[in-house]
Amino acid sequence: MKSVYYLVLICTFSALFGCNYIKSDHPQAELTDENATNLTAQSIINYANSIDKNLTQFSKNTSLVYMLGDLSFYVEKYTQNNQTVLLIEHSYNGGTSNSLKKYYFKNDSLILETDKNELVNEDGTVFKDARTYLRNNTVFKIENKTASTQAALTSLPYIGLPLSNNNKPDQSYLENVNSLNNVVNGNDKFDVVFESITTYPDSRYIILRSKIQNSYSASVLVKERDALIDSLLNDPINFKDQKLKFKWVVKDKEAVYVPVASNTSASGLNK
């Protein structure tokens, strides 16, 4: 009877605090009782998997697609209660490489970076996955795997890589996160202004350039016209070097303009 009493008592507290015996898919449930100092590689992977499964629960902000030479890239940021839970960096370097990097955060601290890379060279295509685990901004484990096909890569286990003896925080990760936030927010080198609007018969693009010379540019595909597009077409000189305010979505690796009167879903729109 005593054991039954305690079981009922535990269930009562579970109900009061929204907990249960069934494993929750909510990302915060994976690491609720763990501090940044006792995270393990497996608990971090569990947490990252739960983030991936619950992306629709988070607020999403998407950057423009920026270009510099053959390189083009954009960043997606997912937040909950004004805290970053995930940054995703999509980058493409002509026909030579594609990279998908994910940065997972707990309490706004980076705990995992994953990198899926596809590299084309004269010997063929190389697929590589890498995972870097962090505690208190310090790397405690790195692992990767490489194969000539995606199917072979999936079947391979990760192999641990040796770490340096330096246990100090690695500032490069923090600087990289800061740069990714600048991409999403359109700050610093990614603060772009109006350059021109193309008038090709089959497609129309808004061309934007960074305020910093010889830096990044961005283009936005215009499928539908509205008052702003009409103004840009009729008097582009008046908007030269001006900051434009508009919304976009990223589809098929390019930013697409969202007209003011459009009924396009707000999912993934830049705010």
Cα separation, 75 vs 64, whole angstroms:
8
206, 232 contact by CB (below 8 A): yes
Amino acid code (one letter) for 34: E
DSSP 3-state percent helix, strand, coil across the chain (nearest 5): 25, 40, 35
What's the angle, vertex CA 86, arms to CA 174 and CA 125, rounded to 5? Answer: 85
Q: What is the pLDDT of residues 109-148, one digit of tens each?
A: 999 999 999 998 888 899 999 999 999 889 999 999 999 9
Cα separation, 71 vs 256, whole angstroms:
19
At 224, phi and psi to the nearest 5?
-130, 140
Amino acid code (one letter) for 87: L
> What does R_g of the chain's alpha carbons equal in angstroms?
23
Q: What is the pLDDT of residues 188-240, one digit of tens each?
A: 999 999 999 998 877 899 999 998 988 999 999 999 999 999 999 999 999 99
Would you list the domain boundaries of the chain? 55-185, 191-258
Residue 26 has pLDDT above 60, yes or no: no
Of residues 10 and 244, more confidence is placed in 244
* Whether this model's pTM surpasses 0.95: no
Amino acid code (one letter) for 48: A
